[in-house]
Each structure stands twice: as C-alpha cells, then as structure tokens.
Amino acid sequence: MIARGFWVTAAGRSEIREQPLPPRAPDQALVRATASGISRGTERLVFQGHVPQSQWAVMQAPLQQGGFPFPVQYGYAAVGLVEEGPAELAGRRIFCLHPHQDRFLAPAAMCIPLPDEVPDRRAVLGANMETALNIVWDAAPLPGERVLVIGAGVVGLLAAWLVARIPGTAVTVLDTEPARRTEAEALGARFAAPQDCPAEQELIIHASASPEGLRNALAHAAFEARIVEASWYGDKPVTLPLGEAFHARRLTLRSSQVGAVSPALRGRRSHAERLALALSLLAEPALDALLGPDIPFAELPARMPALLDPPPGTVAPLCPVITY
C-alpha cells in the first residue's frame, strides 16, 4: 500500500512524498486519516529550521520520520479510522500522535478511541488540549484566584477555558491581536490588550512564545504569584528583568512541558490516560471556534508558509485543519 506524507525538506520548503507501507504487525493498526491539525507554534519552528541541535532528541515527535533539521516529517494531531487492527480497534475512530499522512501504521497502544460525542474535526485539538491540561495541572489554580493567560493561541485559549470552569476564578486572556477577543469571550474568559492588562494577578500562564509576553507576566504579577511558562522559544535567547521586583515580590517562575505528566498526577495518570481525558474534554461545541481554515491535504505544501506566517495585516489562524 502506498501512503502520502507531508515532509519539510528545507527551511520554508515542503512536499508530499509517496512511500510504501510495510505489512502490518499484529500490534499495529492501519489508519486512514480523516483530519489532522497544525500546531502552529511548534510546527513553525520545525518548518523554519529553528529546533536547536541540543533539543533534537527531546523535540522528536512520537512517530516522526526523518530527522532534524531536514528532511523531516513532523506532526502530532492525526484523526482517522482504523481499517485493520486488533479487534478492540478495528472500525473505530481514533486519535494518534502521527505526522500529516493519508494512511499510516501506528502502535495500537497509541491509537486512542474517540468519544462518540467528539467529531473528527474537533478531535484534532487532542494534542493541544493534552498540553493545556498538563499546564493547568502544573499551575494548580485555586477557586477565586485572579488568573492571567498571556497569549491567545490554541494552547493559551484552551488553558483559559479549563481554568475558567473553576468556580470563582477571574480569568483574563491577554493578546496583541484584538480579534482574539471573540474566541476568549466565547470560552468564558475576559479579554485585554497589553495596555489594559490587569495588575496583581495571582496566577499567570504565559503561552505567547514571546519574550515581551513573559516580561508582561513579571510586570503584572501579585506578591508571591506563580508564573507558569508554557512557551518554547526554540533557539532564541530570552532576556528578563529579574533584577527589578522579581525578588521583592517573591515570584515563582516554573516551566511546563507536555513530555512528562505533571508531578501533581505523575504515577497516577499515564500518558495514554492523560490523552484520553483530554479527548473527552473536547465534547464542548464552543471549542469549534478555534478551528480552521480547512485545507485539502494535496494543497498543504503550497499553503503551509502562509498558514504559519500570514501576510502583514492578516489575522493568523488558530488551528488549521487538514482534510483527507
């Protein structure tokens, strides 16, 4: 069987390659993709060749082919139908951490069945929701806290949505793009532009992937506030004003990364259980506001540059959806 996969071949260049699939092993599933999602922040770094060599092993996607910097087949938000596989999976809709490809073989253990109430298109948010869930576990928000989420990308908005469901929390999403107000308010959060950012925030989740955003977090933190850094900068250095009120305010700055289950639940939830929970949380139709545009797979090489770096004056998409 011939499969077609999306490959990044050089900085800013990509193509669809045909490749034969080997015979299926008993512990594998043959999946026909129906949709996959583009995680713009991470995939932009890969597409532009900005994954530092020191992080090549850490950044490798679970079922990645090729290697950094190029050529590489990257991605981790595939949804499809199991055409062949173990009895418990055959004929079922699944989510899998697989790159963009129309048919693929994957370990059966990595094919997580979708809840009936989660449509294929929304299920592409599974990996981003898993990241947001881990961030919230790391952040440990409390009822009644003032919470600031900086960066209204998909992960930031999903984290804001999760925290806003905690009784009494006052959640504000900060972003430089005014158009993000619609999505933030649809998910139960307030919206603020940088000049209107509220002060004295007790918990701050930074997800803008910009040094300015992290400096904003430090500037608007309350006494003994917790700042959770959910961004990843690739090979870009970040300068912070840690000589100002950082120590006097006794601020805490900690990283969050989805590769390990948060210490809050490590040993009690496996990676598969965390992903299954994330998928179940996608039953909310309001999350469809994060999706689009829909891109036919055959058009992806031509359209990927503009999806990752839209022309000036254009609002960037949140989660483009590839259709097969």
Q: Which two tokens stand for residue 167?
A: 């009784």
Query: Is the confidence at residue 236, as pLDDT, over 90?
Result: no
pLDDT single digits (tens) 74-119: 999 999 999 999 999 999 999 999 999 999 999 999 999 999 999 9
Digit-coded pLDDT (tens) for 156-204: 999 999 999 999 999 999 999 999 999 999 999 999 999 999 999 999 9
DSSP state letters, 20-75: EPPPPPTTEEEEEEEEEE--HHHHHHHHTT---GGGHHHH--TT-EE-SSSSEE--
Start-end ranges of CATH 3.40.50.720 in the chain? 141-255
The per-residue pLDDT for 235 is 83
Contacts of 278 (CB under 8 A, 6+ apart): 126, 127, 129, 130, 132, 133
Report the distance separating Cα 174 and Cα 166, nearest Å. 19
Q: How far apart are CA 68 and CA 59, in angstroms?
A: 9
Computed over every residue of the chain, the mean pLDDT equals: 97
| pLDDT tens per residue across span 263-291 | 999 999 999 999 999 999 999 999 999 99
Query: Which residues make up the CATH 3.90.180.10 domain(s) of the chain?
Result: 2-127+269-323
Please give the CATH number for the structural domain made up of 141-255.
3.40.50.720
Yes or no: is domain 2-127+269-323 CATH 3.90.1150.10? Answer: no
What is the model's pLDDT at position 96? 98
Which are the contacts of 124, defined by CB distance < 8 A and separation ≥ 6?
Answer: 35, 36, 37, 77, 78, 79, 291, 319, 321
pLDDT at 137 over 90: yes
Predicted structure pTM score: 0.95
- The predicted model gives 227-246 an average pLDDT of 92
Distance, CA of 319 to CA of 324 (rounded, Å): 16
The string of pLDDT tens digits covering residues 12-63 is 999 999 999 999 999 999 999 999 999 998 999 999 999 999 999 999 999 9
Nearest to 8 by CA among 99, 73, 100, 101: 73
- What is the radius of gyration, based on Cα positions, of the chain? 20
Question: Residue 234 pLDDT > 90, yes or no?
Answer: no
Using 50, 70 and 90 to split pLDDT, how confident is the model at 233? confident
**pLDDT > 70 fraction of the chain, expressed in percent and rounded:** 100
CA distance 37 to 297: 11
pLDDT score, position 32 = 98
